[in-house]
Amino acid sequence: MPERKLHIGVLTSVHPPLDTRIFHREAKAARDMGARVTLVAPGAPDHPVDGIAFRSLPSWGGRAGRPFRWPVLWWKAWRLKADIYHIHDPELLPWGLFLHWVSRKPVIYDSHEYLREDISTKHWIPRAIRGPLARFADWFEKRVAKRLSAVVTVTEDMGERFKPFQARVAVVRNLPPSSARPEVMDVERAPDVVYAGLLNAARGLDILFETSRMVHERHPETRFRMVGTVEWHDVDPALQAKAEDEWQAVGVDFVGTVPFEEVAPLLAHGSIGWLPRSPHDLNNLLAWPNKLVEYMAAGLPIVASDLPTQAAVIAEARCGVVVEALSARAHAEAICELLENPERARSLGEAGLEAS
């Protein structure tokens, strides 16, 4: 009789089923350690993927439809009869607590954002209620989380916020799996600046056009390859109004979202990894910069905003250049310097690769 595997139910009402952190990092890591994993998510496939089973939630309705998913998610989670449940969204906290009480099984809460600050920047929430709602959500999150079995965070600072409430906290960094590391030896690199991840005002979209324009004047062969979703809210309307050919004329290519397995090879064929994050978002200031580690694993020298956490990693690894966060000129100068000094760029990239 085969040995029974530990069954982990992974629950999300917000994220896509093949989410990078949830599916490719956490679920696969649990699978590799011998667990049986079932992921409940909106629009999930009706068949296993890479050894992970799925249960699908309705994906219609956008944000307004999410509350209708919660009881469906709870029922499907209950029917899994899993040994452990892992919830990924603050909105699932009351449902997770109810599941914990009814099933008498451990429920773990995954906290990978600064919730109060995150809500304060949500453009779709009326500005008048953002502050009160953010404070209430922060209060609610801490008090419910302490009644669950454990909390997983991505930084020590985030974990410290739960400890006064007697929550059991474990820090698990949001790092790329070793299987996602690209082959970087003898790769032919284009003279491109690469960016991977969500791109919005808080992550450098405001300075992208001007930075690329200045680099393009000195290095017209260089392209800025922006991989991921673009969010235009809170961005200068004049930037949003620019036609695609205007962006391409200054060297910007919006690649869009690509499959997870294509990101690492794409990075490995670039020349510089770019992290132009803004200091106005606390998640940028304190959160662990997982994209930085992906750039390091691709052997890329890095140009990044002077934000504390990512600046400390870059300084320790000696893998890049840190510049004034909101200055397009400072970013452009650093990028041009690396393009014009390939030996230095190679040395920084090799240092990052070794440190990763």
Q: What CATH number does residue 325 fall under?
A: 3.40.50.2000
Clarify whether residues 200 and 143 are in a common domain.
Answer: no
| Residues 165 and 209 both lie in one domain | no
State the residue for tokens 């990101």: 263
Same domain, 296 and 195: yes
Q: Which domain holds residue 264?
A: 182-355
| Full-model pTM | 0.83
> Considering 171, 201, 236, which residue would you say is the last residue of a domain?
171
Contact by Cβ (8 Å): 315, 321: no
Question: Residue 151 falls within a domain, yes or no?
Answer: yes
136 and 201 share one domain: no
Q: Are residue 62 and residue 130 in the same domain, yes or no?
A: yes
Q: Which of 171, 192, 211 is the last residue of a domain?
A: 171
Domain shared by 148 and 293, yes or no? no
> Could you tell me which residues come within 8 angstroms of residue 312 by beta carbon, excluding any fewer than 6 positions away?
none
Distance CA 59, CA 65 (A): 8
Q: Residues 18, 85: one domain?
A: yes
Same domain, 194 and 144: no
The reply to whether 125 and 167 lie within a common domain is yes
End-to-end CA distance of the chain: 42
Q: How many Å separate Cα 192 from the centre of its chain?
A: 22
Number of domains forming the structure of the chain: 2
Where does a domain end: 152, 171, 190? 171
**What is the chain's pLDDT, residue by residue, as a tens digit (356 residues)?**
567 899 999 999 999 999 988 999 999 999 999 999 999 999 999 999 999 999 999 988 788 889 999 999 999 999 999 999 999 999 999 999 999 999 999 999 999 888 888 888 787 888 889 989 999 999 999 999 999 999 999 888 888 899 888 889 999 887 776 665 666 656 678 899 999 999 999 899 999 999 999 999 999 999 999 999 998 887 888 888 887 889 999 999 999 999 988 898 899 899 999 999 999 887 788 777 788 989 998 999 999 999 998 999 999 999 999 999 999 999 999 999 999 999 999 999 999 998 87
Q: Which residue intervals of 241-299 are DSSP H helices?
A: 244-249, 260-268, 282-286, 290-297
Q: Does any domain span residue 176?
A: no
| Domain identity same for 164 and 46 | yes
Token pair for 174 = 């949001």
* Domain shared by 159 and 197, yes or no: no
Q: Is 73 a domain residue? A: yes
